[in-house]
Chains A and B, each alone.
Chain A
Amino acid sequence: MLQLRSVGMQFGAVEALQSVDLDLAPGEVVGLMGDNGAGKSTLLKIVAGNFAPTSGEVRLDKRAVELTPLSAREHGIEAVYQDLALCDNLSAAANVFLGRELSRRLLGVLPVLDHAAMRRRSAELFVELGSDTRPADLVRRMSGGQRQAVAIARARLSSPRLMLLDEPTAAISVRQIAEVLELIRGLRERGVCVLLISHRMSDVFAVADRVVVLRRGRKVADKATTDSSPEEVTALITGAIEAA
């Protein structure tokens, strides 16, 4: 579905990515790991269309594309960023539909927000995601896991093919982490491809089919999680093993 071909990204003198190849297929969960500054977020932002790579190309369905945030969305790529970007003062449903509000016509003319439809649709999404989030609750009063569910439900709204998650389990409690991993499994069941950036080895080995390791901008491993082990991946991240 999506391919990166010798993608490089340079920020001035910093080579954030060097000649990275990556293939993503429908219905697979790929864990992207690496130390701080290894280039994980940069790679995600290239796929989300926030950065244009300085070299190499991005292919979608075997055609080279130049992505912008808007065109990436149109191609069915949705990203959930590290800092979540929710409006604390609004309800879960309002956040899910922010910028894509549903309206109905009052007396056939006047467009008004269709609160009931938005609540119903968000409730469905939360059920699909296996989350106990209630659509009418304010985000301000929610747990970290419920916030993740809101952010993911928002991204799910457009039925994307590829979902990019940047550190979804950072800064939340252990019980909430289990919820988020359940959300990711739910996405895979629906044929969505998930690129999961995480620092937590246990998360990646719990949900990912494949693990990709970046070290100082280079891809040093790309293999099925069943053929690898947390010890090997740790060694790859730190450089104790050169490549695998």
Chain B
Amino acid sequence: MKSLRRTPQSLWVMLTVAALAGVMSLVSEPFASADNIFNVSRNFAFIGLVALGQTAVIATGGIDLSVGSVMGLSGIVTGLVLGSGQPLVLAAAAGLGCAFLCGLTNGALVGYLRLSPFVVTLGMLSVARSLALVISNNKMIHDFGPDEGLVLALGGGRFLGLANPVWLLLVAALGAAAWFRYSRLARHVLAVGGNENSTRLAGVPVARVKLTVYVLSSLLAGASAILMIGWLGAVTNALGQGYELRVIASAVIGGANLMGGEGGAFGAVAGAALIELIRNSLLLLGVDPYWQGAFVGGSIIVAMLVERVRRGSRTAG
């Protein structure tokens, strides 16, 4: 039993993904089609990217509820700047700049003023979405100016059979895995989540550590939004609406502990893959899409229950 408990959760989730994919390819013919696999993998890439940042936030014992709205705001700003005839580089910088400011605000309030992460990022969820509405004037933006081809290729194109966002996710996940293992900052992220007071006594700048993870989370949300508008070919202020739940579910299913102190890059990606796979399976099996929210929300609760059981067996053993 001991070795079973030590198997990282990300591995279990990957095995579940493989098992579910195996079953689905037997029971549903369209599942294994190249088109479906391509779509599923691309869809989970957008979520997985944001889940990497969310994992870092959750590892400090915090939470970032604002990621979906930050995606909306970054997407709208990027779209508008593109539409005004500016090059992609500038538009992306503007979109990421907005995300950066959102993350900076979240991080400063949580880290330096010690406000509750839940309340701060819930506020930002509302503020960023509202700004997206104001800036876009509730209009869809589908004219991306002279760089339109580039934008569509970036988020909608493929390379060696995989969607570009999937490649980016792979690179980001490998980078994040190395970051978690080898950076001093990530070590401090886990320490803050484990025992904030003790970490402060050890001389670690706790507030700055927190600030950084909220900024990272927002920047990844912004980057994901920029890829997404290239895939969609248009952007509305509803971009990313409700994504916070899927992102948090991905991180938690992948082993990020909502009490802080645990979480890893591969877990976040595996969690995102599992959630997207379940969504896809439900669709293919003809389950009413209205049920999806119940499954995603339920999975967060189940993941917490599993964690509670693991905790329990750990103290007992």
Min CB distance, B257 to chain A, in Å? Answer: 8
CB atoms of B203 and A99 under 8 A apart: yes
Q: In the complex, which of the residues B184, B191, B194, B198 contacts A103, with contact meaning CB atoms closer than 8 Å?
A: B184
CB atoms of B198 and A86 under 8 A apart: yes
Q: Which residues of B contact A89 (CB under 8 A)?
A: 190, 193-194, 261-262
Q: Per-residue CB proximity of A126-147 to B under 8 Å, as 1/0? A: 0000000000000010000000
Q: In the complex, which of the residues A70, A90, A99, A106 contacts B194, with contact meaning CB atoms closer than 8 Å?
A: A90
Within 8 A of B (CB), among A67-120: 70, 81, 84-90, 94, 98-101, 103, 106, 111-113
Q: Which residues of A contact B203 (CB under 8 A)?
A: 70, 99-100
Overall SS of chain B's interface: helix
Report Cα–Cα, A112/B184, bound state, in Å: 7
Whether B16 is near chain A, meaning CB under 8 Å from some CB there, is no
Q: In the complex, which of the residues A85, A90, A101 contacts B201, with contact meaning CB atoms closer than 8 Å?
A: A85
Whether B207 is near chain A, meaning CB under 8 Å from some CB there, is no
CB atoms of A87 and B183 under 8 A apart: no
Min CB distance, A16 to chain B, in Å? Answer: 22
Q: Which residues of A contact B199 (CB under 8 A)?
A: 87, 98-99
Within 8 A of A (CB), among B198-243: 198-199, 201-204
Q: Per-residue CB proximity of B23-34 to A under 8 Å, as 1/0? A: 000000000000
Report Cα–Cα, A140/B190, bound state, in Å: 14
| From B188, B194, B203, residue with most partner A Cβ within 10 Å | B194
When A and B form their complex, what is the total count of cross-chain residue pairs whose Cβ atoms lie within 8 Å? 59
CB atoms of A88 and B195 under 8 A apart: yes
Min CB distance, A74 to chain B, in Å? Answer: 12
With A111-B184, A113-B182, A113-B184 as known contacts, state yes or no: A87 contacts B204, CB within 8 Å.
no
Q: Which residue of B lies closest to A70 (CB)?
A: B203
Report Cα–Cα, A85/B181, bound state, in Å: 23
**Chain B: interface residue count, which band?**
20 to 34
Q: Which residues of A contact B193 (CB under 8 A)?
A: 89
Q: Which residues of A contact B202 (CB under 8 A)?
A: 85, 98-100, 154
Q: Which residues of A contact B190 (CB under 8 A)?
A: 87, 89-90
Q: Which residues of A contact B182 (CB under 8 A)?
A: 106, 112-113
Q: Which residues of B contact A70 (CB under 8 A)?
A: 203
CB atoms of A87 and B198 under 8 A apart: yes
| From A81, A84, A89, A101, residue with most partner B Cβ within 10 Å | A89
CB atoms of B204 and A98 under 8 A apart: yes
Q: Which residue of A lies closest to B195 (CB)?
A: A87
Q: Which residues of A contact B262 (CB under 8 A)?
A: 89
Q: Which residues of B contact A86 (CB under 8 A)?
A: 195, 198
CB atoms of A85 and B183 under 8 A apart: no
Q: Which residues of B contact A99 (CB under 8 A)?
A: 188, 199, 202-204
Extra contacts besides A88-B194, A89-B262 (18): CB < 8 Å: A70-B203, A81-B201, A85-B198, A87-B190, A87-B191, A88-B195, A88-B261, A89-B193, A89-B261, A98-B191, A98-B204, A99-B188, A99-B204, A101-B184, A111-B184, A113-B187, A140-B314, A154-B202
Query: Would you give 28 A-B contacts (Cβ < 8 Å), ordered by A?
Result: A70-B203, A81-B201, A85-B197, A85-B201, A86-B195, A86-B198, A87-B191, A87-B198, A87-B199, A88-B194, A88-B261, A89-B194, A89-B261, A89-B262, A90-B187, A90-B190, A94-B191, A98-B187, A98-B202, A98-B204, A99-B199, A100-B202, A100-B203, A101-B184, A101-B187, A106-B182, A113-B183, A154-B202
